[in-house]
Amino acid sequence: MKFLDEYRNPGAVRRLAAAIRKLVTRRWTLMEVCGGQTHAIVRFGIDALLPPEVELIHGPGCPVCVTPLASIDKAIAIATRPDVIFASFGDMLRVPGSQRDLLAVKASGGDVRVVYSPMDALAMARANPNRQVVFFAVGFETTAPANAMAAFEARRQRVGNFSLLVSQVLVAPAMRSILVSPGNRVQGFLAAGHVCTVMGLDAYRPLVEEFRVPVVATGFEPVDLLRGIYRCLELLESGRAEIANEYSRSVREEGNAAAQALLAEVFEVSDRAWRGMGDIAASGLRLREPYWDWDAERRFELEHIATSECKDCISGLVLRGERKPESCPEFSLRCTPEHPLGATMVSSEGACSAYYRYRRNGIDA
């Protein structure tokens, strides 16, 4: 447990918190761009260790939460077909669509299966040649290489009964969307360390230069997070807009070249809708033309699906960092993990889920 204990060491946490209190001379607002980081912050009470001048707000860093409603409804439309095996990560099954979720489709007889890798879904297609197998390819740059590999192998092996329903999104364009929004309060970002492990740091340089905000690549344990917060505040206090790497045990400035090459082979950048955030230019990935035969939207000729979000859910405001989950009048009342109104209560990385689990009724759970 060395590498876990090292980054949860109480003494190191106290020293970093004291250093932050000594450093800060004015009010600052930072946003963490990772749902895993949000859960760690809430679970370990990282925000409670900070001086009152420092506020942490939660960004759109949960891939399940930002998957647009239209994608969920398309997934449901495909999964209800009798000739389809629909494969997905488990946390997608309970994300509400316009009328129901994938778990309800499964309960009513649809062949919806949970897998742990897109390659499992590809193997499923090979084992069921008389069925169409569709994998729900969602997520940020962290899941994209594995999804790209599944498409690459399906094409190489000529597996004709396999396809991907793609809802891949990119982090940096979402950060830009937040920075240009009228209600933006973000002065510095804690970037998701696993995204940076794949993509490196270059994607953030235009944001740093244009908006003069520091971006710090940060890990997921208490010591990681406090180091990232300290570094970001240090840059802000000194008036420097820079990129910093506080997750160097995993992140290299150039990222993972092999993963990037695979992404460039299989995907191209496209505009993409985000749940709760609307359309964001150049914020998604779609399959390149050589892979169109493995594109589920094309294969099943999905027509435009009209969608309607729950009017009582404020998850869009939560994802943009404009509201905290506890400010929602439905939080822990009508909206719970068992009966969620929005995606941020469903996902294991959703901010509403974190607050429900650890801070329901204002008390650490």
DSSP string, 59-87: -S--HHHHS-HHHHHHHHHHHTSTTEEEE
Looking at CATH, the fold of the domain delimited by 64-169+255-299 is given as Rossmann fold (3.40.50)
Per-residue pLDDT band at 60 (split at 50, 70, 90): confident
pTM value > 0.75: yes
Euclidean distance between CA atoms 299 and 283, whole angstroms: 23
Per-residue pLDDT band at 297 (split at 50, 70, 90): very high
Per-residue pLDDT band at 365 (split at 50, 70, 90): very low
Lowest mean pLDDT among 2-6, 102-106, 337-341: 2-6
Average pLDDT over residues 80-103: 92
* Phi and psi torsions of 18, nearest 5°: -65, -40
Lowest mean pLDDT among 16-30, 242-256, 291-305: 291-305
pLDDT at 62 > cutoff 90: no
pLDDT tens digit string along 199-224? 999 999 999 999 999 999 999 999 99
Per-residue pLDDT band at 303 (split at 50, 70, 90): low
pLDDT at 112 > cutoff 90: yes
Looking at CATH, the fold of the domain delimited by 2-63+172-245 is given as Rossmann fold (3.40.50)
pLDDT score for 320 = 81
Place of tokens 């759970």: 365
Domains of the chain by residue range: 2-63+172-245, 64-169+255-299, 315-358
- Beta-carbon contacts of 134 under 8 Å, excluding residues fewer than 6 positions away, are 78, 79, 84, 85, 86, 87, 121, 162, 163, 164, 165, 296
What tokens does 175 get?
A: 């950060």
pLDDT score for 312 = 81
pLDDT tens digit string along 235-285? 999 999 999 999 999 999 999 999 999 999 999 999 998 887 889 999 999
Per-residue pLDDT band at 362 (split at 50, 70, 90): low
Euclidean distance between CA atoms 174 and 336, whole angstroms: 27
Helix-helix angle 222-237:10-23, to 10 degrees: 10
In the chain, % of residues over pLDDT 90:
72
Average pLDDT over residues 288-315: 85
Nearest of 348, 356, 338, 327 to residue 96 by alpha carbon? 338
Equal CATH topology for 2-63+172-245 and 64-169+255-299: yes
Average pLDDT over residues 72-78: 95
pLDDT score for 3 = 61
Beta-sheet pairing, 278-287 with 267-274: antiparallel
Strand ranges inside the chain, DSSP E: 28-32, 54-58, 84-88, 112-114, 132-139, 162-169, 188-192, 215-218, 243-245, 267-274, 278-287
Per-residue pLDDT band at 363 (split at 50, 70, 90): very low
Average pLDDT over residues 156-185: 95
In the chain, % of residues over pLDDT 70:
96
pLDDT score for 361 = 59
pLDDT tens digit string along 308-360? 677 788 888 888 888 888 889 999 989 998 888 887 888 778 899 889 989 87
pLDDT score for 28 = 98
Q: What is the average pLDDT score of the chain?
A: 92
pLDDT score for 171 = 95
pLDDT score for 272 = 93
pLDDT tens digit string along 116-149? 999 999 999 999 999 999 999 999 999 999 999 9
Lowest mean pLDDT among 15-19, 193-197, 211-215, 351-355: 351-355
pLDDT score for 1 = 47
Euclidean distance between CA atoms 357 and 132, whole angstroms: 38
Average pLDDT over residues 73-94: 95
* Phi and psi torsions of 113, nearest 5°: -125, 145
Between the alpha carbon of residue 174 and those of residues 34, 195, 272, the distances in Å are: 12, 13, 10
